[in-house]
Amino acid sequence: MNKGNNAVPEPERRAFLKGAGLSVAALLVGGLSFERYVVPKDRGIPVMDNYPLAILEDPQGNPITVADVEQYAVSSTATSANILVFNYPLQDEPTFLIAIKGVKITTPEDSIVPTSGFAPVSPSSKAPMTGVIYDPFNDISIIALSGICQHLGCVPPFLDYHPGKSIPFEAQLVGYKTNGTGVFEWPTNGLIYCKCHGSQYNPVWGGSNLYNNGAAPSPANHSLPQIMLATNNSPDSSLDDPSTFTGSYIFAYGINSKNAVIRTHLQYPGGQTYGPQVKKENLTGGTAIPTSTQSIPSTIYTYKDTPSNIETGAPSSFDVNQVNGSVVLYKTVVVSNSGPWKGNFHRLP
Amino acid sequence: MEKAEYEKNEYDLTKIMEEEKDLPEGTYKIGFRSVTTKGYRIDEWTGAWVATALIYQIVTGIIIFFYYSQVDPYRATEYIIDDVPFGHIILTSHLYMAYAMIGLVYFHMMRQWLVGSYRGKWRWLQWILGVVLFLLTILTAILGYMLANTAIAMAALHIGLLFMQRSVLGRILPGAFINWLEGILVGNYTTTATFSHLLALHVAVFSTLMLAIFAVHFMLFERSGLANDDKTEKGKMIPWYPTNLLYAVFSAIIIIGVIIIFAAAFPQKLTLGYGSLAYGTFPVPDWYITPVYKLMDVAGYGLSTGGVPLIIGILIFILIIPFIDRYHKKGVLERPWITAFGVYLVLGLAVMTIWGYSQPGLTQTRLLTEYLWWSLTLISFLPVYAMRFAKKDGDANAN
Amino acid sequence: MQTKNIIYLIGVIQLVVVDPLMWYFTQVKPYAYERYWAITLVINLFLFAAIIFMIMQRTIKERV
């Protein structure tokens, strides 16, 4: 103890210290209210009320057609694929646009785990999965799946689609064989494989997670959410002829999370709802995609499992985002790793 | 002539560094110690090297800060590399010095671990502050690595946010605590807000904290003196000024020179920007992240039951080592299990780094994991105890 | 040669040989020779370090 001349006598010093301690503690308790400072006013506030109706455009600003996407369709013998990505529902939320030749993507069976190894379920006579564009004239399925891995949120190029003959090196390390060579062969139409931690999803099963059915366990807990697509012309040949259908524009109008927990924006745990189409949810913590100058289609068409094959209606009947009671058309740019759509989904033109 | 009432100016500046003898009573002294020649052994200077790296990072960091922009971080980084005079050299050397700093922090820590200099009057506190500095170094490095907005950096940010949300705290207090922590890290999560926050944390918050704690860490060192040189011998002490200063400047120049040579010889290539698409290729995380990345899944028991508790456990163990080292003697072989565990940590870190770097995203089987950890245990503990036995045997024979 | 003279010699070499090179690399073809500039900077620093080393040796010897 310092008993020097400048030291305050013991009893008084103790009182001083106690008082000062109390004062500092009070200051800290009051100061805790400053924690609001780090939470901006617009944090956690949805940027729109519902999922937007968005027209898919190329980087030059022209709407893309079904035929444009079909040029990028991959077959089971493809050795590489162009990555096509657009942002939906908000900016910086990459979504894969995958076109697969010779496959009609149908709703996966309720039991995601197949009984016969992990070979894809063969296309049945069932109607295409809701929200998938199936071109019956060319036998091509176009599906949009979230590009955010449901394990730890890796995005393209870490997560990407490898068609039948392009098994990635990392997948070979965990035991996948080229197809036709054994039990854990790379599926005919390939997988979406995440190189961060090896999550595997099958696009032909509507983005279902493989869980423990692959060569190595898929660490993701959920399947990739599906982004619902529609066209402005009908794929039914009794209504529209093939060239009209393939020339139609593509619209994204929502998210199907039948097999998935929505965590598109990597924000807010607990915002998890199961159902055919999730609405009014998780549109927080980001920037809205820009609005389009194109005219809003009067009718949009999408496949539906039941009761009839095609669901038709005005966009407002699809529960899309509305401002002051009318539907707003947004736009989202499809970018690719090469070709005329080469671009960056984070820094758009 | 009348005598001046005021003190005369002293213009001989070399006298500033003279030893202060008669300070008034009650003065608080922060001293720079004199040491004997033993103090000039190279392994006593590991801390000075880390301090050199810190100062270099601050200087080059300020230079880079002039040209960085959080509005378009990737383009700003490209601009610094391509268009700012000396920008490529400075940015690369900032990166390489960060690598060196982390390496030197590990080296500094393991040296004190093996020598056992974490015990003594204020040394326990110095050790604890050192561990805090170690964590701050790693965190600052990761924040700096995110600032370029590369694909790998954003993967790290996304994974970090998800870890926070899925941690025990994230599950118990999602709104109150994790939302708040995320607010600090990314604001409202738009690109500009995210990078403004990351930038402020990197250049101001974490670096200032690091500098402040380093000042206390260094003051405590000057109070305690060298761990192995606590005997003062009259007439044999070498004054702090100028020898000690010269030694520090000399080693600083060597380290900085080597880093600049590396930066000139191997300029950094900026990896794929966030949002860019490339088929079949992907960047790998920086080497100092890979051991943590690998440890997370190498436990083979999942993140929540294996990886995260394992990392936290190792950190707590390192933090409390001054209190659990109960050996009475000082030597390396006199404190066998501490030494063996130190060797185990060094080997584990090296193996995890190399493994993580070569196979970043692969989960290993539990059998391989067990095999790896038990072999490392054997390799580190067996030789230490064997050498201790041999030494005792040798001493017994000599007597 | 005396230590004192060696120190002067190093200083003169820095001034006459290394410094003009540093300037050359920044003035002729600006920005093209940054890597060589960095190397000459390090040479300059190391020559300075050599002087520091010699002074340090002297100060230690003085005491022991």
3-state helix, strand, coil in chain A (%, to 5): 15, 25, 60
Rounded Cα–Cα distance for residues A140 and A137 (Å): 8
- Write the pLDDT tens digit of every residue in A278-337: 445 567 777 889 999 999 999 999 887 655 678 888 998 888 888 888 999 999 999 999
Residues B143, B166: Cα–Cα separation, whole Å: 21
**B interface test, pick of C23, C25, C33, C45 with most B CB neighbours within 10 Å:** C45
In this structure, the answer to whether residues A246 and A183 fall within a common structural domain is yes
CB contacts, 8 Å: C63 with chain B: 236-239, 243
CA distance A304 to chain B (A): 32
Measured between CA atoms, how close is B110 to chain A, in angstroms?
31
The conformation of residue B35, written as its DSSP 8-state character, comes to B
How many Cα atoms occupy the beta-carbon half-sphere of B305 within 13 Å?
3
Indicate whether A142 pLDDT > 70. yes
Tell me which chain B residue has its CA closest to the CA of residue C58: B243
d(CA B360, CA B136): 24
Asked if residue A1 belongs to a domain, the reply is: no
pLDDT at A55: 96
Q: What is the pLDDT of residue A115?
A: 45
Per the prediction, chain B carries an average pLDDT of 87
pLDDT of A5 above 60: no
Residue B297 has what pLDDT?
A: 65
- pLDDT tens string A229-250: 999 988 877 777 888 888 999 9
Enumerate the domain spans of chain C: 3-63
pLDDT value at residue A1:
46
Other Cβ atoms less than 10 A from the Cβ of B226: the count is 15
Report the C-alpha gap between A155 and A87 in whole angstroms: 12
Ranking A79-88, A237-246, B259-268, B333-342 by mean pLDDT, the lowest is A237-246
Q: Please determine, for residue A274, whether its predicted confidence score (pLDDT) is greater than 50.
A: no
Q: What is the pLDDT of residue B69?
A: 93
Provide the pLDDT for residue B19: 85
Residue A131's SS3 state is coil
pLDDT-derived band at B85 (thresholds 50, 70, 90) equals very high
A81 touches chain B (CB under 8 A): yes
Task: State what percent of residues in chain B have pLDDT above 90.
Answer: 44
Nearest CA in chain C to B237: C63
Question: Is pLDDT above 60 for A117?
Answer: no
Per-residue buried b or exposed e for B334-372, using 16+ beta carbons within 10 Å of the residue's own CB? ebbebbbbbbbbbebbebbbebbbebbbbbbeeeebeeb
**Quick one: pLDDT band at residue C36, thresholds 50, 70, 90?**
very high
Burial class (CB in 10 A: 0-12, 13-18, 19+), B223: middle
Question: Which chain C residues have any C-beta within 8 angstroms of a chain B C-beta?
Answer: 30-31, 34-39, 41-42, 45-46, 48-49, 52-53, 55-56, 59-60, 63-64
A196: nearest CA partner in chain B: B361
Alpha helices in chain B (DSSP H): 46-65, 73-82, 87-115, 123-146, 151-166, 168-172, 179-186, 191-200, 206-224, 245-265, 290-298, 308-319, 321-324, 336-358, 366-398
Whether residue A184 sits in one domain with residue A70 = yes
Kindly report the nearest CA distance between residue A314 and chain B, in angstroms. Answer: 33
The alpha carbon of residue B189 is apart from the nearest alpha carbon of chain A, in Å, by 5
Q: Which of the pair, B215 or B8, is modelled with greater confidence?
A: B215
| Chain B residues within 8 A of C64 when measuring between CB atoms | 37, 236, 238
Q: Does B211 touch chain C (CB under 8 A)?
A: no
Give mean pLDDT, residues C32-40.
93
Q: With CB atoms and an 8 Å threshold, state whether B180 touches A344.
A: no
Query: Quick check: B268 contacting C, CB < 8 Å?
Result: no
Predicted local distance difference test score (pLDDT) of residue A269? 37
User: Which burial class, exposed, middle or buried, applies to A62 when counting CB atoms under 10 A from its CB (0-12, 13-18, 19+)?
Assistant: exposed
Instruction: Report the relative pairing of strands A208-209 and A250-256 from DSSP bridges.
Output: unpaired
- Which of these ranges, A44-53, B224-233, B326-335, has the smallest mean pLDDT? B224-233
pLDDT (average), residues A70-96: 90
Chain B hits for A347, Cβ within 8 Å: 72, 74-75, 273, 275
pLDDT (0 to 100) of residue B67? 95
Residue A106 in this model has a pLDDT that exceeds 90: no
CB contact under 8 A, A266 and B158: yes
Structural domain contains residue A45: no
Provide the token pair at B175.
Answer: 């709104």
Domain that holds residue A19: 9-38
Average pLDDT, whole number, for chain A? Answer: 81
Helix, strand, coil share (%) of chain C residues, nearest 5: 85, 0, 15
pLDDT value, residue B15:
85
Contact A95, A87 (CB under 8 A): yes
The pLDDT assigned to B195 comes to 93
Secondary structure (DSSP) of B135-174: HHHHHHHHHHHHTT-BHHHHHHHHHHHHHHHHSHHHHH-I
Mutation target vs A (from B149, B188, B270; most A CBs, 10 A cutoff): B188
Considering only CB atoms, B280 lies closest to which of A168, A173, A267, namely A168
In this predicted structure, the answer to whether residue C51 has a pLDDT above a threshold of 90 is: yes
* The residue to which tokens 């199907």 are assigned: A256
Judged against a pLDDT cut of 60, whether residue B153 lies above it is answered with: yes
Residue A307 domain flag: yes
**Residue A120: per-residue pLDDT:** 46
**In this structure, are residues A92 and A345 in contact, taking their beta carbons and an 8 Å threshold?**
yes
CATH topology of domain B32-226+237-277: Cytochrome Bc1 Complex; Chain C (1.20.810)
Question: Are A344 and B174 in contact (CB < 8 Å)?
Answer: no
Residue B220 has pLDDT above 60, yes or no: yes
The answer on pLDDT for A266 being more than 50 is no
Least CB-CB distance to B246: which of C35, C42, C59?
Answer: C59
Q: What percent of chain B has pLDDT over 70?
A: 93
Please indicate whether residue B83 or residue A1 has the higher confidence score (pLDDT). B83
Q: How many CB atoms lie within 10 A of CB B270?
A: 15
Do A250 and A139 share a structural domain? yes
Please tell me the total count of domains within chain A: 2
A165 and A247 assigned to the same domain: yes
Chains B and C touch (3+ CB pairs under 8 A): yes
A22 with A64, same domain: the answer is no
Residue with token string 């810190």: B54
**What residues of A are in contact with residue B279 (Cβ under 8 Å)?**
80-83, 157, 160, 337-338
- Which amino acid, one-letter code, is at B180? W
Cβ contact, residue pair C38, B261, below 8 Å = yes
Flag whether A touches C (3+ CB pairs, 8 A cutoff).
no
pLDDT digits (tens, 9 = 90+) for B30-82: 888 888 888 888 889 999 999 999 999 999 999 999 999 998 899 999 999 99
Residue with tokens 């213009």: B11
Output the pLDDT for position C64.
64
The pLDDT tens digits of the residues spanning A321-339 come to 888 889 999 999 999 998 8
Q: Can you tell me whether residue A228 is helix, strand or coil?
A: strand
Q: Where in chain B is the domain with CATH 1.20.810.10?
A: 32-226+237-277
* pLDDT surpasses 50 at B355: yes
Q: pLDDT tens for residues B252-305?
A: 999 999 999 999 999 988 999 998 898 877 777 888 888 877 776 655 555 655
Residue type, A47: V
State residue B399's pLDDT score: 76
| SS3 at position B61 | helix
Question: Is residue A16 located within the same domain as residue A64?
Answer: no
The two tokens of residue A242 are 């093939």
B180, B273, B362 member nearest A198 (Cβ): B362
Hey, which chains touch C, using 3+ CB pairs under 8 Å? B
Mutate to test the interface with B, among A3, A32, A43, A222 (most CBs of B within 10 A): A43
Q: Please report the ipTM that was assigned to this predicted complex.
A: 0.93
- Are A298 and A155 part of one and the same domain? yes
pLDDT tens digits for range A197-231 = 888 998 888 888 887 778 888 888 778 888 999 99
In the numeric block, which tokens belong to residue A334? 């499809």
Contact by Cβ (8 Å): A134, A106 = no
Q: Are residues A16 and A138 in the same domain?
A: no
Mutate to test the interface with B, among A160, A194, A218, A262 (most CBs of B within 10 A): A160
- Say if the Cβ atoms of A344 and B280 lie within 8 Å: no
SS3 A337: coil
Query: Which has the closest alpha carbon to A321: A273, A288, A294?
Result: A288
Alpha-carbon span B145 to A46, nearest angstrom: 30
pLDDT at position A235 is: 81
C-beta atoms of C52 and B253 within 8 A: yes
Cis peptide before A89 (omega within 30 of 0): yes
> In chain A, what's the furthest Cα-to-Cα distance?
105
The whole-number pLDDT of residue B147 equals: 95
